[in-house]
Amino acid sequence: MKRRVVVTGLGLVTPVGVGVKQTWESLCTGKSGAAEITHFDASAFPTKIAAEVKDFNPQDFMPKKDANRVEPFISFALAACRMAVEDSGLVINSSNESRVGTITGCGLGGLRFMEETVRKVTEQGPRRVSPFFIPMMIGNMVPGMISIHFGAKGPNSSLATACAAGAHAVGNSFRLIQDGTADAMITGGSEAVISPTCIAGFGSMKALSTRNDDPAKASRPFDRDRDGFVVGEGSGILVIEALGHALERGAPIYAEITGYGMSGDGYHMTSPPPDGSGAVRCMEAALEDATLDCSQIDYINAHGTSTELNDLYETRAIKTVFKEHAHSVAVSSTKSMTGHLLGGAGGIETVFTALSIHENMIPPTINYENQAKECDLDYVPNVARKAKVQNAMSNSFGFGGTNASLILSKYNK
């Protein structure tokens, strides 16, 4: 028998709040985190907007020395981790350290620091490169630093599966607990790449919104007038545990993870297949793993990037999987508010999915004003909805055709 796995701790650093309470309140009131870019001078760029984290001081969560030696994608994760571990009440010590692990996802790692270092090498020579350059840049330093700071000495790895990385991290952690390899895992995703190279790169693909005159309206998933996504940054971290382990120590339980599906499109470097077949296989695998019928899903936290093809093809995939139930299930994209956190998206969106179950509240898709052809599902337009959420799905799809779907359920004894 596979062990049951529950969510016992949550932590968030997002463009709409630092902390779970502030972020969730922002989502439920439809607040956008998009604004003009302040991390660098974007005046010469077609896209001048992003969803940056605001009012974040890493020294509130770690010693000054450590804060100065890590890139923002690491400090965001360490902060969210501290919140999640404290929220769960998990104590890691010599008696259990080898049974607590960490897996996180990150798409591009320390891209901002890499850009700065390349300029420094070019202008000042190799001797000016910081000895912390490599450890500050590599993506696996997130679980590495979590292990160092919190003493988790069990399974430790990092995933770089593009925009599905955070969700894959949660799913793989779920599997390790199910099969008995670990009793608890600290997992999720983090990203901080609002930088010239990132904005230029996605911009050259015509993937970004250029609605610079009204940033708060720029991310508009499934809307007829969507023109691309808004890059976001931040981190979402969860503590997940074997049910018996959580009950033994009286831990709070937000939700149970009941299903995990993965698939590959095998189609194109950046575009999903028009029929959404990769997403279909992924969602069907998660439903099968959870032993649920599609009619039992109450809410889907969609990948919903606000790009023309993703939103259309994900909608087609949902219609294929959910059939006559497709127009009854609530579907929303929280990226309409947070922007797209790339490798960190699956982390924060799994937290949002757990909260939707725990709070019986479905966050909206803001800026949904005009129905697009074929995008005609119930996208919870503009206003959060109070509803009993028994089972919810979270979708994350990445470049290269890598897909992840997670199913979370209300915990029942």
Choose among 254, 234, 231: nearest CA to 5. 254
The answer to whether 340 is a known catalytic residue is yes
The answer to whether 358 is a known catalytic residue is no
> How far apart, in whole angstroms, are the C-alpha atoms of residue 373 and residue 240?
40
* Identified catalytic residue from 106, 163, 198, 282: 163
167 contacts 107 by C-beta, under 8 angstroms = no
Tell me, what amino acid is at 351? V
* Identified catalytic residue from 28, 303, 358, 375: 303
146 contacts 202 by C-beta, under 8 angstroms = no
Choose among 368, 364, 334, 326: nearest CA to 351. 334
Helix (H, G, I), strand (E, B) or coil at 302: coil
- Give one DSSP letter per residue of 105-162, joined into a string: E-SS-SHHHHHHHHHHHHHH-GGGS-TTHHHHH-TTHHHHHHHHHH---S-EEEE--G
Tell me, what amino acid is at 398? G
Strand partners, 14: 17
DSSP 97: G
- Residue 19 phi, psi dihedral angles, 5° rounding: 115, 155
* Identified catalytic residue from 168, 245, 340, 358: 340
Strand partners, 406: 260, 394
The answer to whether 149 is a known catalytic residue is no
Exposed e or buried b for every residue in 131-146, given b needs 16+ CB within 10 A?
eebebbbbbbbbbbbb
Q: How many other C-beta atoms are found inside a 10 Å radius of the C-beta of residue 293?
A: 11
Choose among 310, 283, 328: nearest CA to 219. 310
Residues carrying an active site annotation? 163, 303, 340
